[in-house]
Structure 1
Amino acid sequence: MSVPLAVVVKGWPRLSETFIAQELVALEDAGHRFDIWSLRHPTDTKTHPLHDCLRARVRYLPEYLYQDPVRVWRARAAARSLPGYAAAYEIWRQDLTRDQDKNRIRRFGQACVLATELPPGTQGLYAHFLHTPASVARYAAIMRGLPWGFSAHAKDIWTSPDWEIAEKLADDGTGAAFGATCTAYGARQLRRLAADPARIDLVYHGLDLSRFPDPPERALRHASDPLRLLSVGRLVEKKGFDRLIAALALLPDGLDWNWTHIGGGPLGEALAKQAQQAAIADRIVWRGACDQPEVIAAMRATDLFVLPSRVASDGDRDGLPNVLMEAASQRLPILSTAVSAIPEFIETGVHGRLSDDTPAALASAMTEMARDPAGTAAMAEAALHRLRAEFVMQPGIDHLSARLSAMLNGARSG
């Protein structure tokens, strides 16, 4: 049986990208057939139950070209006979002139492998993330004369140069047939750069609440009770955990608190050292990477979810982190920041609290929420209601499914 669609991802599976797994499982349930082509091999030692639900075949492209030179050079030789190879090569050379990075070379090599190894019957490509995966998908699609589309998220929008995004959205036969993005904040940026803004769709990930337990009936916390804090997110600059640690050190002596962090990342050692220097390490539990059931269990056993997102020095930033919706699904009060698309879900004072990302402001917000259990609980209830009313998964999946079907049907008729 032919597989009409090739889905290109940066890595598979990844614990931090449950939104991709959720979407792909839902697209399979909607009748789409596809293979997953991953640019990288997995680094996480755990997987989510969602990954086990996926039936698609997973294929791995050469992560580094030197690791599989025979496969790469065989693909390069075969790619030269493809109808769009010359056009793809010229576009890549222009890209390389403006972005003289070895990663750009790797993208073209991976694209040659992808283009020459796509099974017969492939009618289109769909990339998750607008930077590297979309580049590989675009070069390969041009070589094969196939349409392609993408979903963009956060870092890929805000750290890619405008010229590259504009060319991936060009109306010249080489740009994407459509692009989806998961926030209105990101959609405005992409529509600004698109030749045809109508090809950019706002598609919130939302949650498939059928995969989550019903929220617990939480007893009202007393203001004098210990405050159990939880954060879930990669230990990278844009998550703001350095400022949260500084804020925790500012909490008043009369507040009994502890903080649990879930997630891995490159800043783990530096943040643990920061906590030691602030003399609060004994109040912190670093759990590392956890699967989704473990995350949900932790949410059900805590009092306040804190995600102090900020804009990183290289421009990277969150979109609308799914983990905020996961917290809301468990009636867990939320403290975050008014960064990027977070206010699209959390209206401060209604569905949670949005603070400045300074340590003093974060400490003040945590203290005020701890001292007002009733008001904090009311905001958690409102966030749960909004999630159920406006941020469930299915409407977005229906829209994306229609876009993919239109792209593939266009390829068949063409």
Structure 2
Amino acid sequence: MSLKPKIAVVLKGYPRLSETFIAQELLGLERAGHELVLIALRRPTDGKRHPVHDEIGAPVHYLPEYLHEEPWRVLRALTKTVTKRSFWRMLRPFFRDLARDRSRNRFRRLGQALVLVAEWPDDAGWLHAHFIHTPASVTSYASMISGIPWTCSAHAKDIWTSQDWELSDKLGRARWTVTCTRSGYEHLRDLSSDKTRVHLSYHGLDLDRFPSFEGEHSRRDGSVPDDPVRIVSVGRAVSKKGYDLLLKALSLLPADLSWRFDHIGAGELTGKLQALAGELGLEDRLGWHGALDQKEVLSRYREADIFALASRVAANGDRDGLPNVLVEASSQRLACISTAVSGIPELIDDGHNGMLVPPENPTALAAAIERLIRDPDLRRQLGAAAERRVRADFDHHSSVGQLIGLFESEWRRSP
């Protein structure tokens, strides 16, 4: 095998505003001389793109999102692959999976895998899945049919909403799996029969896109009605982000404090959150800005005084890993408040470079927000320490370099 085979990267959707960490990794691989082709299970739904997406040169191929929408494409793929002995060998693990997950989704992933193999793009010689749930299912079946090896990057929701049996099987099928938080890493290692094939690699930040803020954050302290302390949060309006908890915390702040909260991000719960804000009497203090691109988000970080994110474990087990927005905000010396969930404590050391409160606790969150509103000196101290941590330990060159090392080590062992 060539030392640098072309990598077919299988993604759930592309491009996505919420997955800048994936986009900058793809760009980093390209800049290091690796040729990529992107395979997406879904077409884009966001109205905007980040600049990084326009810098990635890899072509993008879209598989049928729903098999019934492109039946002839799926049928052609079946006709082409059913003659392979490897197709029939693949059926045994597929039916074993199906016995434990009797869902239409299981057939959908098989159909997408057949199309991927039948339309194999641009002589790619390696498969890499981003997310260990549905993209890894497609990738695993495609690998069994094609004989092309595969590897995987696991993140957060994909780990914590997957069944242990399925994670264990995929860890055994992939050459290696990398994940981005210690909590996820330890969980996957516990499920892997070969623990040396699970690796920890924090997502780095492209610090060229988030250069040091040369200005100063304000010394507002909430005492001037016409000059409110600016609180910002960036994240999708979904349950695991805890925006209902954050709104409840804001409603508990003393009436004498002057503040304004701005939310950046789209999501299915936006309407409900806006209704909750109305019930809590917060409408006049809130701004809802929808999805913004990276340059616009950077500007908001620099205008703000506090970043807040009330991450939680959702009812279905979904949770954040280590939200990239916390790394971004920290890079701009912005004091951050969040919750002790998943990988967040791996970035924020409470009282040293940010503030952490227990999840599902609006009262504790309100107390932390009030403390930072009233104490601009503390905000500056925490923000400065946060930036030092990010610039020392979260440069994306390190994470991309680690990923390249894993690829090349595997390729050297391959026949």
TM-score by length of structure 2 reads 0.96
The equivalent of 1:364 in structure 2 is 367
Quick check: 2:129–2:153 contact (8 Å CA) kept in 1? yes
Query: Would you say the 8 A contact 2:40–2:61 is kept in 1?
Result: yes
Cα distance, 1:410 vs. partner? Answer: 4.1
Pairwise CA distance, 1:86: 1.4
Which residue of the partner structure matches residue 136 of structure 2?
134
Residue from 249, 260, 280 that aligns with 1:247:
249
Which residue identity is paired with 1:187? Answer: Y
| Aligned partner of residue 43 in structure 1, secondary structure | coil
Deviations 1:330-373 (A, max 9, x none): 11110001100100010000010001231111111100111121
Q: What is residue 396 of structure 1 aligned with on the other side?
A: 399
Aligned residue in 1 for 2:206: 208
Instruction: For residue 36 of structure 1, give the secondary structure of its aligned residue in structure 2.
Output: strand
Q: Distance in 1 between matches of 2:115 and 2:412?
A: 25
Match of 1:18 in 2: 20
Partner SS for 2:208 = helix
1:162 match: 164
The answer on 1:238 being equivalent to 2:240 is yes
| TM alignment of 1:202-351, pairs within 5 A | 202-223=200-221, 224-225=223-224, 226-351=228-353
Counterpart of 1:189, as a letter, is H
Structure 1 CA distance, aligned partners of 2:160 and 2:217?
41
Distance 1:319 1:243 in 2: 19
- After superposition, what is the alpha-carbon deviation per residue over 1:83-115, rounded to whole angstroms, capped at 9, x for unaligned? 421122221111111111111110000000011
Return the offset for 1:61. Answer: 0.2
Question: Bigger shift: 384-393 or 74-83?
Answer: 74-83
Pairwise CA distance, 1:145: 0.9
Alpha-carbon contact 2:203-2:399 (below 8 Å) kept:
yes
Q: Which residue of 2 aligns with 1:152?
A: 154
Deviation beyond 2 Å, 4+ runs, structure 1: 119-122, 222-225, 405-411
Aligned residues: 408
Structure 1: distance between partners of 2:137 and 2:272: 33
Q: Aligned residue for 1:189?
A: 187
Offset of residue 375 of structure 1: 1.4
Give 5+ residue unaligned stretches, structure 2: none
Tell me how large the CA RMSD over aligned residues is: 1.4
1:62-101: CA deviations, max 9, x gaps?
Answer: 0000111111010011111234211222211111111111
Aligned pairs for 1:28-39 (under 5 A) are: 28-39=30-41
Unaligned runs of 5+ in 1: none
**Distance in 2 separating the partners of 1:120 and 1:230:** 44
Letter in 1 for 2:30: E
List per-residue Cα deviations over 1:121-156 (Å, max 9, x = no partner): 322100000000000000000101111000000001
Q: CA deviation at 1:3?
A: 6.4
Q: Is the 1:320–1:342 Cα contact (8 Å) retained in structure 2?
A: yes
User: What secondary structure does 1:151 align onto?
Assistant: strand
State the partner residue of 2:176.
178
**1:108 corresponds to which letter in structure 2?**
L
Equivalent in the alignment of 1:56: 58
Tell me, yes or no, if the aligned pair for 2:37 and 2:124 is still in contact at 8 Å: no
Q: Aligned-pair distance for 1:295?
A: 0.6
C-alpha contact 1:10 1:128 (8 A) present in aligned 2: yes
What is the letter of the counterpart of residue 348 of structure 1?
Answer: D
8 Å contact from structure 1 (residues 71, 113) kept in 2: yes
Q: What is the 5 A alignment of 1:66-145?
A: 66-119=68-121, 121-145=123-147
**TM-superposed deviation, 1:214:** 2.3
How many Å separate the matches in 1 of 2:30 and 2:257?
49
Q: State the Cα distance separating 1:221 from its structure 2 match.
A: 0.8
Cα-to-partner distance string for 1:261-315 (whole Å, 9 max, x where unaligned): 0001110111000001111111111000111111111111111000110100111
Structure 1 residue 382, shift from structure 2 partner: 0.3
Between 247-256 and 368-377, the greater mean CA deviation after superposition: 368-377
DSSP 3-state at the match of 1:211 = coil
Instruction: Tell me if structure 2 keeps the 8 A contact 1:220–1:377.
Output: no
Counterpart residue type for residue 145 of structure 1: G
Query: Residue 125 of structure 1 contacts residue 137 of structure 1 at CA under 8 Å; is this kept in 2?
Result: yes
Measured against aligned partners, the alpha-carbon deviations of 1:160-206 in whole angstroms (never above 9, x if no partner) come to 00000001112xxxx00010101111100010011111111111111
| Residue number in structure 1 paired with 2:384 | 381
d(CA) in 2 for partners of 1:91, 1:203: 30
In 2, distance between residues paired with 1:5 and 1:366? 45
The answer (yes or no) to whether the contact 2:130–2:153 under 8 Å persists in 1 is yes
Kindly provide the amino acid, as one letter, of the partner of residue 317 in structure 2: G
3-state SS of 1:209 partner: coil
- After superposition, what is the alpha-carbon deviation per residue over 1:2-33, rounded to whole angstroms, capped at 9, x for unaligned? 96211000000000000000100000001111
* Contact 2:217/2:303, CA 8 A, preserved across alignment: no
Question: What is the CA–CA distance in structure 2 between the aligned matches of 1:219 and 1:239, rounded to whole Å?
Answer: 25
